Amino acid sequence: MDSFDDFFPDGIKSLQTGFVVSPRWRAEITKWLDCVYGVDPKYCERAKNRAKQDTFKQAEVLAEIRSMYFLHERGCAISALEPDRVDVTFTDTNGAEWNAEVKCPSYGQEIFERDIPRADKLARKQRPKYINEGGSFDFKRQYVDPIEKSVSKFEEGSNNLLIISDNLFVSLVEDPSLEENVKTALRGSDPQGKISAVLLLHVQLGNAFEYVARMAEITKPLALREAEK
C-alpha cells in the first residue's frame, strides 16, 4: 500500500470529482506525505487518525502536511513535528530557528457565521463546498481566529511563524490588503507581539501545480530559497 492509500483509505472528500481523487492531486499529495514520513513517521500515525474523524479534520491535516512540504522544498531544515506546544520547528535558509503553528480556517466556520437558521446551516455544511450560491466575503475577520488559536502556543522572544493554509470559499492569498489586515488583527489578538511573521499558503492546480505563498513580516523576515521555475 502506498502512502496515500495508507493515509486516506477513503479518499479526500474536498478534492474528489465523482468520488475519485484526480491522479494529479493524488501524486502531489503523495509527495507531501513521503516528505513528512521521512521526517517523523510517528507524527504521521497521529495525523492519520485525526484525518479519519471528519472532512474538516482532514482539511486541517492536509494544511499541515502541505505546509511542511513547502518549507522543506524552499530550503528549510525541519527539526521536529509537534514538539511540545507547536506544530513544527525548523531552521530557515539564513540559519534562524523558528517555531510554527499551522491553521486552516474552514468554510464550515463561514457557514455557521451566516445569518440563517441553524437547521439551514447544518444542512448546508453537509453539501459540497462549491455550489451555485451567492454571498459576500470579508478578508479581515478571517485572520482573528487563527491568531487567537495560535498565540498561546508561542513564547515571547522566539521567532514565531503563523502559517495559514485555508479551506475557505475564497482563499486569503487573494486578500488585496494582506499586511494591513494582518497587522490590524494582530493588534487586537496578539498584544504581546509574539507572532513574528504570517505566511499564507494556497496550492492550486492549473496547467501545473502552483504554490501561492504570501508573507506578512511583522518583526522578523523568514528566509526561504527561491521557488524553482
What average pLDDT score do residues 54-79 get?
93
Q: Is pLDDT of 52 > 60?
A: yes
Mean pLDDT (the chain) is: 86
Q: Is this prediction's pTM over 0.85?
A: yes
For residue 214, give the C-alpha cell: 504570501
User: Which residue from 3, 2, 31, 25 is spatially nearest to 12, judged by alpha carbons?
Assistant: 25
DSSP code of residue 222: P
Model confidence pLDDT, tens digit, residues 175-203: 999 999 999 999 999 999 999 999 999 99
Percent of the chain topping pLDDT 90: 63
* Residues 6 or more apart whose Cβ sits within 8 Å of residue 126: none
**DSSP assignment string, 19-64:** TEE-HHHHHHHHHHHHHHHHH-HHHHHHHHHHHTT-HHHHHHHHHH
For residue 171, give the C-alpha cell: 482563499
The β-bridge partners of 95 are none
Q: 55 or 59: which carries more pLDDT confidence?
A: 59
Q: Is pLDDT of 109 > 90?
A: no
Position 153 confidence tier, pLDDT thresholds 50, 70, 90? very high
Model confidence pLDDT, tens digit, residues 15-45: 655 556 889 999 999 999 999 999 999 999 9
Position 129 confidence tier, pLDDT thresholds 50, 70, 90? low
Q: What is the pLDDT of residue 26?
A: 92
Dihedral sign, Cα of residue 78, residue 212, residue 30, residue 4: positive
Write down the number of H helices and E strands in the chain.
8, 8
Q: Is pLDDT of 138 > 80?
A: no
Q: 28 or 141: which carries more pLDDT confidence?
A: 28
